[in-house]
Structure 1
Amino acid sequence: MNEVRRRGPIASLFVWLWDAMNFTRRLVFNIVFFSLAFLLIVLLFSGGGLRPLESRTTLVIAPEGRLVEQFSSDTASRALAHALGDDRDEEIQLRDLLRALDAARTDKRIERVFLRVDRLQPSGYASMREVAAALARLRASGKPVVAFGESFVQEQYLLAAQADEVYLDPMGGLVLEGLDRYRQYYREGLQEKLGVDVHLFKVGEFKSAAEPYVLDAASPQAKEADLFWMNDVWQRYLSDVAKARKLSPKDLAAGIDTMPEGIAAARGDLARYALQQKLVDGLKTQEDVDDLLIQRGVADADAEGGFRQVSLDTYLRHIDPGLPSTDPRPQVAVVVAAGEISGGEQPPGSIGGVSTAALLREARDDENVKALVLRVDSPGGEVFASEQIRREIVALKEAGKPVVVSMGDLAASGGYWISMNADRIYADPSTITGSIGIFGLIPTLPRALDKIGVHTDGVGTTRFAGAFDITRPLDPAVGDVIQSVIDKGYRDFTGRVAQARKQSVEEIDAIARGRVWTGAQAKERGLVDDFGGLQTAIDDAAKRAKLGKPDAYRVRYIEREVTPFERFFASMVESRAGAAWLRESSFAQGVARTMVARSLPNVDADLKLLDAAMQRRPGAPVKALAYCFCRL
């Protein structure tokens, strides 16, 4: 039998060295190979990077989708949807639009702005007035603004009216009609048709958020309160449009009252009617306006429309710093609280009692953050989640960091709860706020189950064991318990507002009771300190922290960071090659086939609220809600 010959120590050393060299060679080769492959992919999909921005460029502001305070999806998902041509959920951040307009005002490369807002889905009048003010500043700087639309709704027209020239397609239309607020009411359908009994517990005769579940029509108190704040918003709208168009609010209002006669005189031509009302300066097609911009600007055969231009998205990339900054300057942090307030962790575009509180805590723990602005655009939601966020605001102030609230379109009910303890509250005169009130809903289903032959029975060890089971009738004594909880919630709300706003509980109760106010009406009643937009709030916060001039500090939004992969993936699918591949691939076609249509937004919101009310918090007989259905 042959014996296996063992290597000597010197031979083993050389073998080990050879293996190590081979491993190192392969490792280095693989690193170089994959680095080059990655670089090749980046170059392939980057589209060659940004082209330099030339002089005499027209900035094209043509946003499509909803105007929002904060994106509700991540960077990669937005880029993918855009590449697939799915614009149903497209969003434009208000801060991005404002930043571009303010930068263009002093950017010598931008000669004029072409404004097309007829595909923008407005969120509310406060944010639209903030954009309108930015357009007015741009126009006042001497930069011409030309607006065009195939048709305008009145919210879009508020922005178009700020332009030096407003053009409408000859086949388009523009009709100012006023504000309305109509909702669906479900009492008959729920109680009589389905057998679902909805029990409402509330404080405040004006707290109308849950009325649709127990009434067949709006209560007189709801109509009174709604008409009061809506008239204030509408009169301000007429004044804003009249000022921009050099008309009188009285003439605009008269034009609405005599609209049938005016349209008949124009032989049903809505575009001609808008021209006769002096709402637009002329009737032109898109091609006509392109020719106008070619004549006034610089011709560019390779550009869409034939004139030298830069889109909003591309311009933002030109003015953005790019990678996260290591700027050592002190910071004014901005935390966005947009959407409904719910418990726990919630994604961007909504407010979570845990997740939003964590963002505020991050600002408190960061030594570089010297002051905070809370940007609020919320109808409210869960009371406990709202209180979690309010406590973090108090903790920030106790840590010596000033807190300023900037109210957007809506900061009502729970949205006011999280705002009230700020050092100063700013709102637009057309912001919707107030609605200081609490309610709870409990639906019970025994009659509904009876209809299909299902019955509930059993035993409990005490009188109240199983008393909150929605498949059983609601015991009146349990109703008394729930109402006591709601009463306590209202006392907490008004008591905290009174302490924060340095008024008596009686004074707050007189303007609370669930009543909704505009920003102007709220300021008259001491619920808001002053008028101003987000920049005004940032300036105030910096001043309170004694940070000096604007160039002595920087503004930082505290939100979920974009990962390197999301940044790369977005860059890839936004390129021409990436977008073309996705559109042609079976993957894209499969995604498109699986998309479903949205349900009616009002009904969807109502049912979501009812569902949320059914999910009680542990240890509580009812989930107390501070919510307001007061967005136009």
Structure 2
Amino acid sequence: MKKTNFLKFLSYLKKFLIGLLASVGFLTLLTFTFFLFFISNRDIIVSHPDKIKGDVILTLDLDQIFRETNYIKWSEPKINLREIINAIYFAKSDDNVKALLAINNNNNMNLTQLKDLRDAIKSFKKSNKPTYLYTDTFGEFNNSTGSYYLASIFDEIWIQPSGYVGLIGLSIIQPFLSDFLKKIGVEFEVFKRENYKSAMEIFSESKISKDNKEALNKLLNSMSTQISKEIADSRNFSFDEIIKIIDNGPYFSNEAKDKGLVDKLGYRDEFDNKLSKKYKNVKKINIEDYSYLIKNNLKTSPGKTVAIIYASGQIQMDRDNTGLPSEDIISAKHLSKVIINAANNENIDAIILRVDSPGGSPIASDKIWRATNIIREKNKPFIVSMGNTAASGGYYISMAADKIFAQPTTITGSIGVLTAKPVIKDMLKDLEINIYSSKFGNNSDLFDITKKSNKQKVELINNYLDKVYYDFINKASIGRNLSIEEISKVARGRVWSGSDAIQKGLVDYYGGLREAIEYTKKTLDMKDNELIDIIILPKPIDPLEKIVETLLDGNVFQNISNTIRLINNVAYKLVNFHNNNQTSLNIQF
């Protein structure tokens, strides 16, 4: 009897604990759902102006981190780089906008993003509207060449009297770890196609190779020359003068003013007062509010529609384990579906693929490449706009385009393939760790890191790389309308700047996304001032919808677990952290 009562007590206790945990879990889920709803619908809560009333100064805070696009609806900042650039181009012909003002300049943009934004400001200046930039400093005794490169396009540059201008040029630093690794018993086997494919040299070599040195110096010289010429042109220096200024940098603010790098020394309040006196009764509007007004008040054309598809990050077959899109990863499974759906959509007249990728998996890259060919089969214009990097696999997914746009600062090419594995045999010996292995299949130990690859396995790996490399070469030859001999000369795993890539036939035109859009309009027989409907793909995911979808799809108990995991992943995304660990031998473009 006592035993029966005790079992009943345990049964009630179990039900109570399950109910308690379920209630706590539900309340946690509910609270987090309301939190996501608040963020996802921030535009409903945060007020924006309905229209511009009177004259305004357009303001831009350059301390923000600007992304190419927003993959998740609640991601920060709310405005992305494309929208900023569009707003600046629109403001050029807006009579209400009297000037452009940028505050601070400690940005985190890469050189190509800086070039895109700089080009937009340069175009704005053609309207004879003044541009101003105020910054506390260009870095604090560090290299701020990129920040100054952007700043140099402004008509009037102010800097705090104690500020600093770190205009000292560009540099490339590469460590070589081979000797160190050998001391701890680790050696890398590297297989590559071909001699310029140098990504793994830092592990396999004790110093830089001749080919790698040649390619990197060429790349560095090309980019340095480009930004030096643009700074010289904006600040009225000769090329020799700006080179001398860079060589003798950095500078304190008073020295920078004497050199003609900045125009005024002053604190922020002094700058604000000066502008207020010059522009009496002129209000300021930040670029986020201005962009909002454009999107909500601009009447779009019912005619042509262009899809801009973003491909940013390392190319792999699927997303990371969070199940959410990322600017660090291109999921071939997801992106190829997006491309094919856009190609088959009768309401989409042309497609622009915006690529910013250093490469990744050859098989994943080929899956995306095939999807881009379906665009051509549908006889739709297919244009590629390269971002900061479109190299290796990034070039692979671009090369079927009708035309390719790149900035002079874009890093592209790297037509090649490589793989590598660490061999820890000596380290295990030093640590007195003994290994037993048994196998079924001659090559089942192909990826065994406890021993070097024998002649048979080296031949197997090389044969595979040859097939992948020649497939890359053949498809590049077809896509770029070059002979195998011509494409082979500029391939061999070598990276090129956008400037050099045009000369080598790998790219067609200079320009950013804006220029790619204008070219696409011409291919659709549209007039310069004719408006075009733009669809951004992949569409940003709403986390609230994703959680509800996961909770309701299939087995309830299983999906409660999946939902909790998804919530954890959403929180993971909130801190904007991603770590992708590879644990096996990988073939990489």
Q: 1:467 aligns to what SS in structure 2?
A: coil
List per-residue Cα deviations over 1:114-173 (Å, max 9, x = no partner): 11241311212x322221111111111022111111122221212211111111111111
The aligned counterpart of 1:528 is 507
Tell whether 2:230 aligns with 1:240: yes
Q: Given that residues 242 and 248 in structure 1 are in contact (C-alpha distance below 8 angstroms), is that contact kept between their aligned partners in structure 2?
A: yes
List per-residue Cα deviations over 1:159-216 (Å, max 9, x = no partner): 21111111111111113211111123322333322x2332100012111111111113
The aligned counterpart of 2:353 is 374
Q: CA deviation at 1:416?
A: 0.9
Amino acid at match of 1:205: N
Tell whether 2:319 aligns with 1:345: yes
Residues 549 and 172 of structure 1: CA distance in aligned 2, closer, same or farther (over 3 Å): closer
Q: Distance in 2 between matches of 1:455 and 1:65?
A: 53
The aligned counterpart of 1:319 is 294
Residues 552 and 309 of structure 1: CA distance in aligned 2, closer, same or farther (over 3 Å): closer
Q: Map 1:418-433 to 2 at 5 A.
A: 418-433=397-412
Q: Given that residues 176 and 256 in structure 1 are in contact (C-alpha distance below 8 angstroms), is that contact kept between their aligned partners in structure 2?
A: yes
Q: Distance in 2 between matches of 1:42 and 1:198?
A: 51
Residues 165 and 44 of structure 1: CA distance in aligned 2, closer, same or farther (over 3 Å): closer
Q: Distance in 2 between matches of 1:67 and 1:151?
A: 20
Q: 1:242 aligns to what SS in structure 2?
A: helix
Residues 298 and 217 of structure 1: CA distance in aligned 2, closer, same or farther (over 3 Å): farther
Instruction: Give the greater-gyration-radius structure (CA).
Output: 1
Residues 229 and 473 of structure 1: CA distance in aligned 2, closer, same or farther (over 3 Å): closer
Amino acid at match of 1:147: L
The aligned counterpart of 1:296 is 278
Tell me how large the CA RMSD over aligned residues is: 3.2
The aligned counterpart of 1:54 is 53
Give the paired residue count. Answer: 519
List alignment gaps of at least 5 residues for structure 1: 1-37, 79-89, 264-268, 300-306, 568-590, 617-622, 627-632
List per-residue Cα deviations over 1:217-275 (Å, max 9, x = no partner): 3222211111112111111111101111112121111223344xxx7xxxxx6111111
Q: Distance in 2 between matches of 1:516 and 1:44?
A: 43
Q: Distance in 2 between matches of 1:138 and 1:378?
A: 29
Identify which of 217, 221, 228 aligns with 2:218.
228
The aligned counterpart of 2:458 is 479
Q: CA deviation at 1:375?
A: 1.0
Q: Given that residues 130 and 155 in structure 2 are in contact (C-alpha distance below 8 angstroms), is that contact kept between their aligned partners in structure 1?
A: yes
The aligned counterpart of 2:563 is none
Amino acid at match of 1:112: A
Tell whether 2:87 aligns with 1:100: yes
Q: Distance in 2 between matches of 1:597 and 1:416?
A: 27
Residues 442 and 43 of structure 1: CA distance in aligned 2, closer, same or farther (over 3 Å): closer
Aligned-pair identity (%): 28
The aligned counterpart of 1:275 is 257
Q: Distance in 2 between matches of 1:253 and 1:399?
A: 50
Q: Given that residues 70 and 338 in structure 1 are in contact (C-alpha distance below 8 angstroms), is that contact kept between their aligned partners in structure 2?
A: no
The aligned counterpart of 1:176 is 167
Q: Distance in 2 between matches of 1:596 and 1:447?
A: 40
Q: Distance in 2 between matches of 1:107 and 1:595?
A: 37
The aligned counterpart of 2:4 is none
Task: Indicate the larger mover: 311-320 or 546-555.
Answer: 546-555
List per-residue Cα deviations over 1:554-600 (Å, max 9, x = no partner): 12112124539589xxxxxxxxxxxxxxxxxxxxxxx99x999989x
Q: Distance in 2 between matches of 1:369 and 1:190?
A: 53
The aligned counterpart of 1:333 is 307
Q: Distance in 2 between matches of 1:469 and 1:329?
A: 59
Q: Given that residues 68 and 123 in structure 1 are in contact (C-alpha distance below 8 angstroms), is that contact kept between their aligned partners in structure 2?
A: no
Q: Given that residues 170 and 224 in structure 2 are in contact (C-alpha distance below 8 angstroms), is that contact kept between their aligned partners in structure 1?
A: yes
Q: Given that residues 521 and 527 in structure 2 are in contact (C-alpha distance below 8 angstroms), is that contact kept between their aligned partners in structure 1?
A: yes
Q: 1:523 aligns to what SS in structure 2?
A: helix
Q: Map 1:115-264 to 2 at 5 A.
A: 115-124=102-111, 126-152=112-138, 153-193=144-184, 195-259=185-249
Q: Distance in 2 between matches of 1:54 and 1:562?
A: 34
The aligned counterpart of 1:551 is 530
Residues 150 and 563 of structure 1: CA distance in aligned 2, closer, same or farther (over 3 Å): same
The aligned counterpart of 2:98 is 111
The aligned counterpart of 2:23 is none
Residues 229 and 47 of structure 1: CA distance in aligned 2, closer, same or farther (over 3 Å): closer
Q: Given that residues 73 and 542 in structure 2 are in contact (C-alpha distance below 8 angstroms), is that contact kept between their aligned partners in structure 1?
A: no
Q: Distance in 2 between matches of 1:182 and 1:502?
A: 36
Q: CA deviation at 1:366?
A: 1.2
List per-residue Cα deviations over 1:33-53 (Å, max 9, x = no partner): xxxxx99x9899825553643
Amino acid at match of 1:218: I
Q: Given that residues 104 and 136 in structure 2 are in contact (C-alpha distance below 8 angstroms), is that contact kept between their aligned partners in structure 1?
A: no
Q: Given that residues 55 and 111 in structure 1 are in contact (C-alpha distance below 8 angstroms), is that contact kept between their aligned partners in structure 2?
A: no
Task: Output the TM-score relative to the length of structure 2.
Answer: 0.81
Q: Distance in 1 between matches of 2:67 and 2:420?
A: 29
The aligned counterpart of 2:587 is 624
Q: CA deviation at 1:448?
A: 3.2
The aligned counterpart of 1:74 is 72
Task: Output the TM-score relative to the length of structure 1.
Answer: 0.76
Q: Distance in 2 between matches of 1:317 and 1:566?
A: 24
Q: Distance in 1 between matches of 2:205 and 2:533?
A: 51
Q: Distance in 2 between matches of 1:545 and 1:155?
A: 36
Residues 210 and 158 of structure 1: CA distance in aligned 2, closer, same or farther (over 3 Å): same
List per-residue Cα deviations over 1:313-333 (Å, max 9, x = no partner): 22222222399x997533111
Q: Given that residues 62 and 119 in structure 1 are in contact (C-alpha distance below 8 angstroms), is that contact kept between their aligned partners in structure 2?
A: no
Q: Distance in 2 between matches of 1:529 and 1:480?
A: 38
List alignment gaps of at least 5 residues for structure 2: 1-36, 139-143, 547-569
